[in-house]
Structure 1
Amino acid sequence: MASLLRLEVNGQERELPVPGTDASVLDLLASLDQHPKTVAVEVNRELVPRARFGDTSLHDGDRVEIVRFVQGG
């Protein structure tokens, strides 16, 4: 049975369906259709290294900031 994880993402309240007991930063990015190589992620004001997206767990009430890299010319 899925549960809902309540997060603040870029200043907006969001609910993330969680199939098990927890979700990772990578799960959140997938639910938002964000490619992990094109973003930087901060959880509770701490930068999460890209190599740790899959094993960094999210918890109810976490504050997540996602910054997308944009190329210009």
Structure 2
Amino acid sequence: MNIRVNGQTLHFSKEKMTIIDLLSSYQLQEKIAVVERNKEIISKEAYRRTELKDGDMIEIVHFVGGG
């Protein structure tokens, strides 16, 4: 499956993949990330059930603490 993540096309060997799987591959926790799929913001409650499809365009914004 090929998906575009933050402007970069990536290949994943999994046939089925959810947003949670994608976040895990980047070692991001769902509570600190906002995900947009094909220009639509996905609610955090839907991350586990939203399956990605070949050609999807994903934007991930995550929050980093500091001081």
* TM-score for the superposition, normalised by structure 2: 0.90
Q: Which has the larger radius of gyration?
A: 1
Runs of 5+ in structure 2 lacking a partner?
none
**Greater percentage in strand:** 1
**Per-residue deviation, residues 14-64 of structure 1 (Å, max 9, x unmatched):** 11231xx42100111111111111100000000000010000010000000
Q: Does structure 1 residue 9 correspond to structure 2 residue 5?
A: yes
Larger RCO (CA under 8 A, 6+ residues apart): 2
Aligned to 2:27, the other structure's residue is in SS state coil
State how many pairs are aligned: 67
Aligned to 2:11, the other structure's residue is in SS state strand
Runs of 5+ in structure 1 lacking a partner?
none
**Aligned residue in 1 for 2:29:** 35
RMSD (Å) for aligned C-alpha atoms:
1.2
* TM-score for the superposition, normalised by structure 1: 0.83
